Amino acid sequence: MYEVELSFSFLSPVLEDLIVAKLVDQGFEGVWIENRSIKAYIKKEIFDIQNVQNIWQNLSIPVNCQVHEIQETNWNAIWESSFEPVVIGDKLLIKAPFHKDIPSYPIEIIIQPNMSFGTGHHPTTHLIAEYLLQCNLTNKIVLDAGTGTGILAILAEKLGAQMVYAFDIDKIAVQNSMDNIQLNACQNIHVYRGTISDCINITADYLIANINRNVLIAEMEEYAKRLKDKGVLIISGFLMNDTTILIEKAQGADFTLLQKIEKDNWNALVFKRRQL
């Protein structure tokens, strides 16, 4: 695994989000931001330094780039030293097993930090979790595309879902989500490795997809096939300037926009599948 450290003389919040989104699109699995520096982590077999250089060359900004080969186990140490509890509204607490003496909330999720995306800190995870807290998931069937740590699948079960089917293409994410499911004593979550077309052949009431712009566009038709009439699609993982193209793609796949929500220049969109 490689750690790519990008140091900037200037880094605005908007520029920071744009760079992070582009890194995620390239396959980086974790991003750590501190001051004017971004550290991102990627598997050796898919790393291409030219693709990374194209990011700041296209943005015309000066960057100092350093690449280090690291052991994958280093990631856990980074997360454990920096992972603070997350509170969403007055209903949900997300914490790690090593957090102590935290006041209780109606819903509590324990997440063991790992290389998987989704600890509740990123605005996209926060946006979807916040929306799910408003939903009635009792006895519903839920799909969680790109489950990462399994956090949203776990939340869906805790909110009453009858069954949750979660999947991810990354084997580390699949194992991490299974570990977190066990930590939270969940009984109704099935985890698969693969894409939605590889491993899911059911229709659901809700489909959650917190991935990235390119995957969302490519899989939109598959999401429509796996939702019941009037089923709800919740997507995030993209910046505000990608919202229009995603709305157009969803509408072309027989979805109607219900809600658009925003946090720190990131968006989430909620759609209903049109009755055919």
Write the pLDDT tens digit of every residue in 158-194: 999 999 999 998 887 888 899 999 999 999 999 999 9
CATH classification of 118-273 is 3.40.50.10190, yes or no? no
| Cα–Cα dist 215/164, whole Å | 21
| Cα–Cα dist 149/176, whole Å | 6
pLDDT at 80: 60
| Cα–Cα dist 213/218, whole Å | 9
Which residue ranges does the chain devote to CATH 3.40.50.150? 118-273
CB-based contact 8:14 (threshold 8 Å):
no
Higher pLDDT, 94 or 71: 94
* DSSP label of 26: T
Residue 63 token pair: 């960057």
Q: pLDDT class for 147, splitting at 50, 70, 90?
A: very high
What is the mean pLDDT of the segment spanning 235-250? 92
Alpha helices (H) in the chain, listed in sequence order: 13-25, 49-59, 74-82, 123-132, 151-158, 171-183, 196-199, 213-225, 243-252
Contacts of 15 (CB under 8 A, 6+ apart): 59, 61
pLDDT at 39: 86
| Cα–Cα dist 58/55, whole Å | 5
Which residue ranges does the chain devote to CATH 3.30.70.980? 2-70
| Cα–Cα dist 245/64, whole Å | 32
Residue 74 has pLDDT above 60, yes or no: no
**Domain at 2-70, CATH homologous superfamily:** YebC, transcriptional regulation domain (3.30.70.980)
| Cα–Cα dist 115/208, whole Å | 20
What torsion do the CA atoms of 203, 206, 208, 214 make, to the nearest 10 degrees?
60
What is the mean pLDDT of the segment spanning 219-243? 93
